[in-house]
Structure 1
Amino acid sequence: MEPLLISTGVVALAEIGDKTQLLAFILAARFKKPVPIILGILVATIVNHGLAGALGAWITSAVSPEVLRWVLGLSFLGMAIWTMIPDKIEEEETRVARRFGVFGATLITFFLAEMGDKTQIATVAMAVHYTSPLLVVTGTTLGMLIADVPAVFVGDKLANRIPMRLVHSIAAAIFALMGTATLLGAGSKLGF
């Protein structure tokens, strides 16, 4: 249960102010159809984070436990730093041919925006750390929805009232704690 809860919480916090949340605001303002936007976010996240979870599972089987501990610990510390850097939405990520419809436009833009994004990298790292890719992917997907669904419904009104620096600091602190704990051997019972 811990992989599900931690991955949900960390991604929900890290996603606030992230470019995909900004993309949710933009898509909601442009299309004004929340259901296909939310479904597009859900499917894009499941596919993207599913691939990330599979990569995490593969890394666990391919890398020695000692090397894995150091790579994972340093990755979490890197995620802590990256979380403190605000995202800017790229205009080209919001340009998708209208022939795909609202769902298709959301699916494609969200999938592309998540490629190499901090929440995708976090999904890989947590899948390695917890060795429970399914629970991690479920958690990171829930975290994305917790952060992005309200963005679809309330848009910029809510974004201007959220203390982004505080939220990002909390997410960064969680990543830093996970990184430090991993480097100090907290995952040794898991084999790394």
Structure 2
Amino acid sequence: MDFKLFFTAFCLLFLAELGDKTQLTVFTLVTQYNKPLPVFLGASCALVLVTLIGALFGHVVTRYVPATYMKVIAGVMFVGIGIFLLVEALPQLLHQLGRG
């Protein structure tokens, strides 16, 4: 077992997930139903399954696409999503600022 890789993955994903929509969804479900254990278990199983799919897909893709290309593709996708969200949010922000 490569513990350095294990802890790198753990730390990066832990930091990336703080305050994201998944955590906010869990927070909302617990506040709505006041049952933290089933929400925790359901969310944990979902995250494990999504991570498994990502790991398996990544393993298959690396057979056909070099890692450098994958980094570029992932970077372009993140930038694209960021631009999309910015373009979507700016008109709303400008409208709110105009009112305020």
Answer whether TM exceeds 0.5 for this pair: yes
1:12 deviation in Å?
A: 0.9
Distance 2:30 2:55 in 1: 28
Amino acid at match of 1:52: G
1:17 deviation in Å?
A: 1.7
Cα deviations across residues 107-161 of structure 1 (Å, max 9, x unaligned)?
xxxxxxxxxxxxxxxxxxxxxxxxxxxxxxxxxxxxxxxxxxxxxxxxxxxxxxx
| Aligned residue-pair number | 81
Q: Which structure has more RCO (C-alpha within 8 Å, separation ≥ 6)?
A: 1
User: Which residue does the alignment assign to 2:42?
Assistant: 40
- TM-score, structure 1 length as denominator? 0.37
Distance 1:2 1:22 in 2: 29
Distance 1:6 1:76 in 2: 18
Over aligned residue pairs, what C-alpha RMSD do you find? 2.5
Distance 2:62 2:17 in 1: 25
Distance 1:31 1:75 in 2: 40
User: Which residue does the alignment assign to 1:24?
Assistant: 26
Change (3 A) 1:73 1:80: same
Cα deviations across residues 167-188 of structure 1 (Å, max 9, x unaligned)?
xxxxxxxxxxxxxxxxxxxxxx
Amino acid at match of 1:35: L
Q: Highest Rg: 1 or 2?
A: 2
User: Which residue does the alignment assign to 2:57?
Assistant: 55
Distance 2:40 2:73 in 1: 30
